[in-house]
Structure 1
Amino acid sequence: MDLDGKAFRARDGRPASDAIVAGFLRREAPDAGATPARYFFDAFTPDGTPVEPHPALQVKTLLLAGYPRSHTFRTAWGKVTLRELVASLQHDFRPDLASSPDGAWALDALSHVLEPGGSFVNGAGETVRMDAVMDTALSTLESANAELLRGMKAGLPQVPKNKQGIYAHPCGGLHFFQAVAGWARFPAVRKAWGSRLDTQVDVLVYRLGSESRQYEAALTAAPAYRVPVLVQMVKFHGHLLEALGRYRDETGWKPTPAQARAVAEAKAALESATLRLEATGAFRDTEALSRTQPQLALDLVGDACHAARGWDLWAPPKPR
């Protein structure tokens, strides 16, 4: 759905969104006269298959796929609207997710249903003000990227990637960047944040060169890990293109010539990594890979979807 949105379908022909909600949505029914039912997705199925490994991933996906909050999904117990799923997300939301690596998806979802000045009351009775939440999220992104910023200012060719800072985030923090950057689609937010978000874009562009060098070095130093490294390269370059493409589309950002060259370099790196990964046979036999390295197989499929979307976001406009 990240790639095809509402058009994506399950093997049985149903919209993928219908299959996800019907198959995996859980309901916690209230006592008589109590608050509305609470809806949620388990993180994993009993056999370990991921359903929602990050809080609010599914609601965020449904919102960004373009479903209106009035949209109705069928479930085993009846119907549920996306608005009700958003209400459950707000009920469960805690402000500390704004400073958590796992908060990206909830922040992205909420920032697409609220505007500056908006607020809601969560299940703990706290008034959650989105301006404060997203300001905290920007500060969290800045803190996570601090070492890369220092490397960029010092002109270092690379900053070692050792699961520190932004590298401790899922998907290298690129979903967190997307959540923060998307809030800047509002002129009032861009004015309030000033150059702070511009700096984070510069850091992301710097990171392209820094990280790409380390992947190429890893391929040479550890040929036995060729497939995992290539999958990581597809993940990084695809997510980076997706992040910058969304930022452009949601805020009207216009890349500088240097930034446009970086986008072109990221596309070339993604194409190269994809072709090299294809040559290993990993794409042709994901079932065999899932038996020996199940997490790598899941990463391969999921990250390829993000990469395809990132690629499409920077594809030349189709002639009319």
Structure 2
Amino acid sequence: MTSVTLALLALLSAAPAARPSAEEVLRTQCRTWAADPKNPWALAHGIAAEGRAFKARDGRRAADVIVSDFLRREGPDLRFDTFAADGTPVEPHPNLLVKTLLLAGFPTSQSFRAQGGPVTLGALVEDLKRDFRRDAALSPHGAWTLDALSHALPPGATFTHGAGETVRLDAVMDEALALLEREQAELLAGMKAGLPQVPKRKQGIYAHPCGGLHLFQAVASHARHPAVRKAWGSRLDTQVDVLVYRLGSESRQYDAALTSAPPAYRLPVLVQMVKFYGHFLETLGRYREETGWKPTPEQTRAVEQARALLDGAVRRLDASGAFRDMESVKTAQYQLYLDLIGDACHAAHGLSYWRNHLGG
């Protein structure tokens, strides 16, 4: 080798390794900790981020573990517990697991091994329909039921639940849009008034898990049908505008909280930032992919801002050591441990939607 070549090799070997992207950091976190075969909730988040081929740590396909190890039969009924006996979440939001399998692309004819014999995804959907209750579906924990029904049934579909009432899917989803409008009314008023922010006080949409973004996803996903979009007119467009306004409103509050919080309380703030920015990107990414929505220049800038804000939050969270010390977090703050898994998966998924759409 020439002296020049040797010098170049020396420089290359001395150069620091390329820093992993925020998506790579999050995806590594998701793949590592969502693969726990004893935690079906975590497995579902792994499927959401990685797709239906995602495997549990024991080598089995995550979807197979969820159904074979955790589905229970009660006579003709099929059930997932809310939590396992040791407090591990199984299905804390009704129909989260069925919704996950449907959105992962498993056909309703897909058969899984289960206690007491094989069961199809279609049978799980039929059980969901029998158990359907309008008030539960339109409650803060109902978004996963709405999303599952919208993906299992075509627009215009009807079904009869166990109490004998005939349910029209489109009517339920119309009510879901109206619910979203009511829950975001204060934000809409703030947006129209030009307020820099609307304080979060667990009111309205903030009373919903994950800030109501799963409700937004379920409603917006139903608009993938042209007839639904036509019937709703500009109503959903307004809710998209409100979501973009929320980005500025909430980011100001997170920045203020991070600045004023004592060191011991900064970790939960960073996790909340990852939760919101990740779900924001996932929500608008799903909306674009499922409906063909084309963001305006202002909306595109908002997505770029959310991606930058998420990147910053992930860097600070990674620097805190939380991702590297998950066992200690699990022991000391179990809910935070779960958030570090689920929110990492959602945020990685959200970033993946925009990887090739914003020049990054």
TM-score, structure 1 normalization: 0.96
- Please name the residue that 2:242 is paired with: 203
Is the counterpart of residue 130 in structure 1 residue 169 in structure 2?
yes
Is the counterpart of residue 260 in structure 1 residue 300 in structure 2?
yes
Secondary structure of 1:289's match? helix
- Please name the residue that 2:13 is paired with: none
Among 65, 68, 75, the alignment partner of 1:19 is: 65
- Please name the residue that 2:182 is paired with: 143
- Please name the residue that 1:10 is paired with: 56
Equivalent residues of 2:71, 2:115 under 8 A apart:
no
Equivalent residues of 2:150, 2:222 under 8 A apart:
yes
Is the counterpart of residue 173 in structure 1 residue 212 in structure 2?
yes
Q: CA deviation at 1:99?
A: 2.4
Is the counterpart of residue 116 in structure 1 residue 162 in structure 2?
no
Q: CA deviation at 1:177?
A: 0.1
Deviation string, structure 1 residues 175-205 (Cα, Å, up to 9, x no partner) = 0000000000011100110000000000000
Secondary structure of 2:48's match? coil
In 1, Cα distance between equivalents of 2:142 and 2:245 = 24
Equivalent residues of 1:98, 1:136 under 8 A apart:
no
Equivalent residues of 1:98, 1:140 under 8 A apart:
no
Between the aligned residues of both structures, percent identity stands at 70
92-101 vs 175-184, greater mean Cα deviation: 92-101
Q: CA deviation at 1:233?
A: 0.3
Q: CA deviation at 1:259?
A: 0.2
Bigger radius of gyration, 1 or 2? 2
Equivalent residues of 2:68, 2:113 under 8 A apart:
yes
- Please name the residue that 2:286 is paired with: 246
Equivalent residues of 1:55, 1:103 under 8 A apart:
yes
In 2, Cα distance between equivalents of 1:26 and 1:212 = 42
In 2, Cα distance between equivalents of 1:49 and 1:286 = 16
Q: 1:257 to 1:264 in 2, by over 3 A?
A: same
Equivalent residues of 2:72, 2:115 under 8 A apart:
no
Q: Could you list the runs of 5+ residues in structure 1 that have no partner in the other structure?
A: 30-36
| Cα RMSD after superposing both structures | 1.2
Alignment of 1:37-76 (within 5 A): 37-76=76-115
Secondary structure of 2:268's match? helix
- Please name the residue that 1:34 is paired with: none
Equivalent residues of 1:219, 1:226 under 8 A apart:
yes
In 2, Cα distance between equivalents of 1:257 and 1:98 = 35
Secondary structure of 2:324's match? coil
Deviation string, structure 1 residues 252-285 (Cα, Å, up to 9, x no partner) = 0000000000000000001100000001000001
In 2, Cα distance between equivalents of 1:77 and 1:297 = 33
257-266 vs 91-100, greater mean Cα deviation: 91-100
Alignment of 1:228-307 (within 5 A): 228-307=268-347
TM-score, structure 2 normalization: 0.85
- Please name the residue that 1:164 is paired with: 203
In 2, Cα distance between equivalents of 1:98 and 1:204 = 22
In 2, Cα distance between equivalents of 1:92 and 1:84 = 12
Q: CA deviation at 1:97?
A: 2.9
- Please name the residue that 1:311 is paired with: 351
- Give, as a single letter, the amino acid of the residue that structure 2 aligns with 1:291: T
Structure number with greater CO (CA < 8 Å, separation at least 6) is 2
